[in-house]
Amino acid sequence: MTQAKLAELAEVSRQTINAMELSKYVPSTVLALKLAKIFGREVQDLFELEKIDWK
């Protein structure tokens, strides 16, 4: 699937999809849910929470 097609389905710009692929943009919860629905997957299958050192 092209970035343009995914962007169209997710109702965002192609640049948003590109930035996510380059780890320059973290999607909103709504966008993450849309992408999971588009791919027929769970959100946690598409995204992983970075380990944060809370100290």
In a domain, residue 40? The reply is yes
pLDDT, residue 49, reads 78
In a domain, residue 55? The reply is no
In a domain, residue 27? The reply is yes
Beta strands (DSSP E) in the chain are none
Task: Give the whole-angstrom CA distance, residue 47 versus residue 32.
Answer: 8
Predicted confidence pLDDT, tens digits, the chain (55 residues) = 999 999 999 999 999 999 999 989 999 999 999 999 999 999 999 988 777 777 7
5-26 CB burial, b ≥16 within 10 A, e <16: ebbeebebeeebbeebeeeeee
Residues of the domain holding 33: 3-44
SS3 26: coil
Number of domains in the chain: 1
pLDDT, residue 54, reads 72
pLDDT, residue 28, reads 95
The answer to whether the CB of 33 falls within 8 A of the CB of 44 is no
In a domain, residue 25? The reply is yes
Tokens of 11: 């109702």
> pTM for the whole thing?
0.83
